[in-house]
Amino acid sequence: MSGTTLPDHPLRYELSNELHARPFPELKAPCRAAFLAIKKPNKAIERDRAMDRKHLTDLLDRHGVAHPAPDANHYSGQLGRGFLNWEMHTEFVTYTIFADSVAETPFDAAVFSIFPKDWLADAPGTVLTSALVRVEEYTSETDLDNFLTTKIPHWFVPESLAMSRVIDDEAIIAGDFRIDEAGHVRFAVLTKPYIGLRRLGRIVQRLLEIETYKTASMLTLPISRTVSHRVAYLDLELTEIVQQMAKDDGDDIETLNRLLIMAAEIEFLSSSTAFRFGAAGAYEAIVNRRISVLREERFHGRQLFGEFMTRRYDPAMRTCRSAQERLQDLSARAERAANLLRTRVDVAAAEQNHEVLIQMDRRAALQLRLQETVEGLSVVAISYYAVSLAGYLLTPVAYQYGYDKSLVHAVVTLPVVAIVFAASRLIHKRIAD
């Protein structure tokens, strides 16, 4: 940072440049655009960025064009008779060719010839979507009526056609979001003569983004249907388990094992679909945002792009959200049921432990009584041996004074028994303490 010793954050310039890295193209009617989005067919989320860059440089080498930076995620430059925009996203990579003028044949895919067939065959993925945009200019209402009566009905399927005035009535956009015979989605942009070059570029770019993110978000629809089918089955099984728990019918341990297996499957469904559901929500938000910034106005009673999405696209997204919410709800219910059953199992185990402790107390009391009995016998035995020893010790002395041996034993018996008993009680007390 100039004028100070305070250092810059290492990402400061990189993040600032990111905001300006993808400028809108500058287009002048008449012109056309060919768009291609490529995605890996497998379940991988992150693309092999090195492979994508190599695929781009192979195309640039065929036209003798300089390579982008080694870590570039976007590129734009002249390519043959067209202008190429290349962008790398998390799940897909896009190629857009802008060419001046329009072909005699409406929506002629010849502009795609800039992509060699063998180069396309080596693409790291499959086509997510491809589109053709035809941009023409009208100078009067007569020209516009001619488009509406002689061209638009032949370019698009009337039943699916969406058409509106956009960007302060400076252009009219049309499209039916259907794939034509050549495998491309078609869009038409009719502009007034004075529209700005960048404004026209923004309109075309937003149409392509609407198509791309609409298609990417709908990849979640088949997954949501599979999830919904499985969730419906698991929901019935969970209801059966909860009813069994309410009736207190069956083995709790076995029921808990069933719940744990079900919870594991639900968690697998959640973890394996989390990215797809999250991506669908993000892409849907982008689609709705791109439509809103077009500032649509109704044109000759035609349905707006926003209305088309409300009728055709929103139900698919609601299906995805519903599947995700049902999966989350099922996960929460299974967890609550498992917690309730664990509580019941824990209470039953506590009761069993209580009974075991009572039995242990009883056995300990019996052992104590037995021990006291044994201690009493031990006192007698020890006293017997102690009296005998005392007799051996005192008998010679007693003979000197004329006393009999039996008298000696009789005299020492009670004191010896008392001493042995007192000693055993003292030892028992110390051990107890």
28 and 115 inside one domain: yes
52 and 195 inside one domain: yes
Residue ending a domain, choose from 303, 329, 355? 355
Within-domain flag for 411? yes
- Lowest mean pLDDT of 81-90, 214-223, 278-287, 313-322, name the range: 81-90
Total tally of structural domains belonging to the chain: 3
236 and 334 inside one domain: yes
In sequence order, the 6+-apart residues with CB closer than 8 A to the CB of 350 are none
56 and 180 inside one domain: yes
CATH number at 290 reads 1.20.58
Q: Is the pLDDT of residue 42 over 70?
A: no
Residue ending a domain, choose from 166, 199, 232? 199
Percent of the chain whose pLDDT exceeds 90: 46
330 and 389 inside one domain: no
Task: Indicate the average pLDDT of the chain.
Answer: 86
Q: Is the pLDDT of residue 377 over 70?
A: no
Within-domain flag for 366? no
pLDDT at 69: 85
- For 382, the domain range is 372-432
Residue ending a domain, choose from 296, 329, 355? 355
Residue with tokens 């709705």: 288
Q: Is the pLDDT of residue 243 over 60?
A: yes
Contact 173, 163 (CB under 8 A): yes
Q: What is the band of 254 on the pLDDT scale with cuts at 50, 70, 90?
A: confident
58 and 178 inside one domain: yes
Within-domain flag for 242? yes
Choose between 122 and 394: higher pLDDT: 122
67 and 184 inside one domain: yes
110 and 167 inside one domain: yes
Within-domain flag for 205? no
185 and 267 inside one domain: no
321 and 405 inside one domain: no
- Lowest mean pLDDT of 82-91, 137-146, 172-181, 392-401, name the range: 392-401
pLDDT at 250: 66
Give tens-digit pLDDT for 69-87.
Answer: 888 888 999 988 889 999 9
340 and 391 inside one domain: no
Backbone angles phi, psi at 285, to 5 degrees: -60, -40
Cα–Cα distance measured from residue 82 to residue 157, given in angstroms and rounded to the nearest whole number? 29
165 and 76 inside one domain: yes
